[in-house]
Structure 1
Amino acid sequence: MPPKRKTLTESLEQSEAHEDAPQKPPPSFGGALSKFVFSTTTTAGGDGGSGRTTRSSTRTVSTARVVAARPKPAAKPAKPAAATATAAEKPKDEDTAAGSTKKKKKRRAPSVYAPPSTYAHLSPIPDALAPNLIVLFIGINPGLTSAATGHAFAAPTNLFYRLLHASGCTPDRRVAACEDQGLPGRYGLGHTNLVGRASRDAGELSRAEMVAGVAELREKVRRWGPEAVCFVGKVVWETVVREGTGRGVGKMWEWGWQEGAAAEGWRVGCRVFVVPSTSGLVAGYSWEFKRELWTVLGDWVQERRRVRGKVVALKTEEEE
């Protein structure tokens, strides 16, 4: 018997009833994975069984192992070669060019003997002497600036007058080079040189003229009778010692007061103190070292002033 056909009205009613029924949500990603389930069950038959083995395994695939494929990030554009160059990769020519702007300090060539005619246009400077000085300072010879101005230790870089004041030899003020002739009357200090002629430095003097100056220096000291002499520079003192003993000062020699064998070559009778050269060309000793050494002499000078009852006059308002 042929199936009964549904009328149009029945079809519409069934369609409306289907739409009114609650709809199931679409399966989730985890629900979709639940379909991939494999079960394994093993039943082993004994001697009395059929002898066939049926294996059924159940394996659940973990959602943690399922990784969605991610698109690869787009590659970054390469930087230009000039932008990636580091400071270490700079060409040496650039470093050389940058360093070429710094001026290298040139070493001064050692001086050689210059005959007296070289500086014949410069006159010797006068000594600052008086009877019974406390200290007579002895330099090796006048420099070019001193010869040009007529005053001892006159070069702007020379530390002589600065050390005189710092040590207490001139306690009231720093004396200017142009006042060097007033040192004996005001402070009981004087100055002279081993060699009278001027030169750029001691390297332009001959050994013969330095030795010849020793006898004249001894005679000058005997005549004026200072309590002590201060040799400004080891070269001056060693020249005196070598001329008197035939040997140098020795390896154990020290700056300051010279006692015993160190003063053997002097043969005059007054005390001897030795300090490094105050010239600006001599930079082997620090200012602190020179000041401390000079202070030993300055303390002795002030003590001798107290014994003599000599008061150093303070600077007046007119002199300011």
Structure 2
Amino acid sequence: MMSKWRHYAHLIRLDRPIGIYLLLWPTLWALWIAAEGVPNLLVLLVFMAGVVLMRSAGCAINDYADRDVDPHVARTKTRPLAAGHITPREALGVFAVLGLSAFALVLLLNGLTIALSVVAVLLAATYPFMKRFHHLPQVHLGAAFAWAIPMAFTAVTGTLPPLVAWLLFLAAVLWTTAYDTMYAMCDREDDVKIGVKSSAILFGQHDRLIIGFLQILTLLLLVAVGILSERGLWYWLGLLVAALFSVYQQWLIRAREPQPSLQAFLNNHWLGMAVFAGIAADYAF
């Protein structure tokens, strides 16, 4: 029984929390800007728990969608579903339980946030299947991750998200597309062989250039957010650090090798943290 629970934990990547971090940081950006400082404790706890639950649910449905693909990819062939340690029905069950748990948490918030949460579930449930239909599943993932931003604004204010929220949403979509393309670069050769689509395949030899363009657009949108929300020195210092991390990531992917590309992807945790630290410090001081 303990081994089964261990496989469930691996299914939802509890041993690899990078996805939690990458979903958490934009959520915290939005909560702090919407509340103009530290948000209501209940709202904060609901969103933090929701981040863990929805990321975990996303991993479960992702492995279900890729159950026939993962055994043929070097990086994913040892995942519990691909290796036969759990069944597809069990993976769907885990997704359902986690998704319903996240929805139960949202019921503690206002009606507008509850309505927006339906979109969040649809985005999370459909993302893993997009790589079979088009070459930009990374954009779909970006929308799924960034949807916490308008939800955060409605949870804090009780009204429709303002312009600054949608600029922050777009920044998070572009940022996610950039770092998930770095991630896709790790599997590009295997994906080409098995016919799976990705932005890394679509961008081809222009991948670094396009990732750089996406990084610049992300930073410019965050500049616009800072201007509209009248942020001060700490915010701009946070963005400066984020820009330096972007340059470092470009250096890591310079040869398009799998391991450095994975390191560049992982480095985005620190980029997201830098932006949040700037926001939090700016409101605090």
Q: Shorter-chain TM-score: what band? A: under 0.3
Q: Which has the higher strand share?
A: 1
After TM superposition, the score normalised by the length of structure 1 is: 0.24
Structure number with the bigger relative contact order (C-alpha 8 A, sep ≥ 6) is 2
